[in-house]
């Protein structure tokens, strides 16, 4: 699996061109991309990057990738990230690594999105898959009850025995649903209409290309 992630990181880093503003995703696959990008920067590639998490920003800085602040950016040219699950319609579940709010903000501001995943993450439907929701700490118990009354299994993301706190100072409730998601936009909007829900880990309708890394070191692309 590590070999596939390294291959994916290398593949994505070859797509980056001089003078681009690059959005850096988060997670183990995105880390492979950041390291490959750093190798290209050391060979003379001129880019600036903005990261979706403290961990990614630290890794980029450690590897001499120049960081730019959001106030100095009019558009992100290309955003590269992993995902937890994807389907052929380029719908995705993200956020098992807890960075999905910042990831979605960067992805939404990007002209082009490259999602790098190993082929095991391509699935037919999201039935029974955990869907992460970032939830305001205030009233989190109410939000959890509302989700349960809607028929979803709802669990706080934990950090040992404590409730996990995100970089945005919120918590995460992972929900599980018993039906397939027929209309992801409707479902997403239904979740976002709950007052305490700040964002969901459902990504869709984005200018994305999914690169599937395979065991035989080749790639499939969903355009």
CB of 116 to ligand 5RP, least distance (A): 8
| Residues 171 and 157 sit within 8 Å (Cβ to Cβ) | yes
Residue of 7, 71, 64, 68 lying closest to 33 (CA atoms): 7
- Active-site residue identified among 57, 91, 103, 134: 103
User: Measured from the CB of residue 81, what is the shortest distance to ligand 5RP in angstroms?
Assistant: 5
Q: Is the dihedral of CA 78, 81, 86, 91 positive or negative?
A: negative
| 38 vs 118 by CB, closer to ligand 5RP | 118
Pick 23 or 82: Cβ nearer ligand 5RP: 82
CB of 190 to ligand 5RP, least distance (A): 21
Q: Is 103 a known active-site residue?
A: yes
What are 137's strand-pairing partners? none
Q: Which is nearer to ligand 5RP, 16 or 98 (CB)?
A: 98
Q: Footprint of ligand 5RP on this chain (CB under 6 A)? A: 25-30, 81-84, 94-100, 103
Nearer to ligand 5RP, 142 or 155 (CB): 155
Q: How far apart are CA 68 and CA 213, in angstroms?
A: 30
Return the structure tokens found at 101. Answer: 């709010």
Tokens of 139: 């009233």
Nearest Cα residue to 92 out of 212, 173, 12, 198: 212
Give me the active site residues, please: 103
């Amino acid at each position: 699996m590590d070999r596939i992630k390294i291959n994916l990181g290398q593949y994505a880093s070859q797509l980056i061109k001089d003078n681009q503003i690059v959005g850096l995703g988060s997670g183990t696959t995105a880390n492979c991309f950041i390291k490959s990008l750093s190798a290209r920067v050391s060979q003379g590639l001129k880019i600036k990057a903005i990261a979706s998490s403290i961990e990614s920003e630290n890794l980029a800085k450690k590897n001499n990738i120049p960081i730019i602040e959001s106030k100095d950016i009019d558009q992100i040219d290309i955003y590269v990230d992993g995902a937890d699950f994807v389907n052929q319609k380029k719908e995705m579940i993200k956020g098992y690594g807890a960075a999905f709010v910042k990831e979605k903000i960067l992805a939404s501001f990007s002209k082009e999105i490259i999602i790098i995943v190993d082929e095991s993450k391509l699935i037919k439907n999201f039935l029974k898959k955990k869907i992460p929701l970032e939830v305001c700490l205030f009233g989190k118990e109410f939000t959890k009850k509302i989700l349960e009354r809607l028929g979803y299994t709802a669990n706080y993301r934990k950090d040992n025995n404590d409730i996990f706190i995100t970089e945005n100072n919120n918590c995460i409730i992972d929900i599980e649903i018993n039906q397939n998601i027929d209309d992801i936009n409707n479902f997403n909007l239904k979740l976002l209409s709950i007052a305490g829900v700040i964002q969901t880990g459902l990504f869709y309708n984005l200018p994305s290309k999914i690169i599937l890394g395979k065991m035989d070191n080749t790639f499939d692309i969903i355009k």
